[in-house]
Amino acid sequence: MKLRFGDLSFDGRRRLLYRGALPVHLSLRAFQLLALLLERRPEAVAREEIAEALWPGSDAPPGGLASVVSELRQGLGAPASGPAWVRTVHGFGYAFDGEAHELPRNPRHVLFRGLQRVELAPGGNVLGREKTAAVRLGHPTVAHEHARIVVTDDRAELEDLTRSGSTYRGGEAVRGRVVLEDGDVIGVGEIRLTYRILEGDAGG
């Protein structure tokens, strides 16, 4: 199960959690709790069921579950808007609270400009007027090396290379790196591109 929620990417099979390109370190039990809540979303999971999953065949230590929940919340951080990812259901248990989107298998990261399309390679992909740019954009409002999209497995992050505030995701200027979502419109100078995540074996 591969999911993305907010700026976090979850890979249950490989037991990995990333915020952007940076790994989030969780204990085994905190990761197991996250996996359980994601699998059962949007349902709430009873404390007794969580305890059995985290401490199979034995009783949870006093305060053990509360400690694991606290660690998980700290690791996930608070989303930019809305409630925290882990919701307490008083008198019952806990639930995952938020939108989580399944990621395609073997994803391909593609930019569209009208009918033109460019498939992005793993690593850094420079967008600009430079002849060696991975995505060459011959327009006077585009710098020679204007922006870069860094692809790592199932994530792509956009960063501005000009420091001029002329690289956009949606209508917002990019500061630092931002994680791209499927369907995001990218502005590079006056050029507009659409970012898509496609299935590895799909034709587009």
The 10s digit of each residue's pLDDT in 93-107 is 999 998 888 876 778
Flag whether pLDDT at 176 surpasses 70. Answer: yes
- Condensed to tens digits (0 to 9), the pLDDT of residues 50-80 reads 999 999 988 889 999 999 999 999 999 876 6
User: What value does the mean pLDDT take over residues 117-130?
Assistant: 94
Q: Is the pLDDT of residue 153 over 80?
A: no
Q: Which residue has the tokens 């995952």?
A: 96
Q: Does 203 have pLDDT greater than 50?
A: no
Same CATH fold assignment for domains 2-102 and 108-198: no
Q: How far is CA 151 from CA 1, 48, 76, 186, in A?
A: 20, 41, 22, 15
pLDDT at 132 over 90: yes
What residue spans define the domains of the chain? 2-102, 108-198
CATH code: domain 108-198 is: 2.60.200.20
What is the rounded average pLDDT of the residues 101-124?
A: 87
Predicted confidence at residue 91, as pLDDT, reads 93
9-25 pLDDT tens trace: 898 888 889 887 678 99
Tell which wins on pLDDT, 160 or 102: 160
- Matching CATH number, 2-102, of 3.40.50.720, 1.10.10.10, 3.40.50.970, 3.40.50.300: 1.10.10.10
Is the pLDDT at 165 greater than 70? The verdict is yes
- Cβ neighbors of 79 (< 8 A, separation 6 or more) are 6, 85, 98
Among 49, 50, 91, 43, residue whose Cα is nearest residue 72: 50
Phi then psi dihedrals of residue 99, to 5 deg? -95, 125
Can you give the pTM of this predicted structure?
A: 0.61
Residue 159 has pLDDT above 50, yes or no: yes
pLDDT for the residue numbered 31: 96
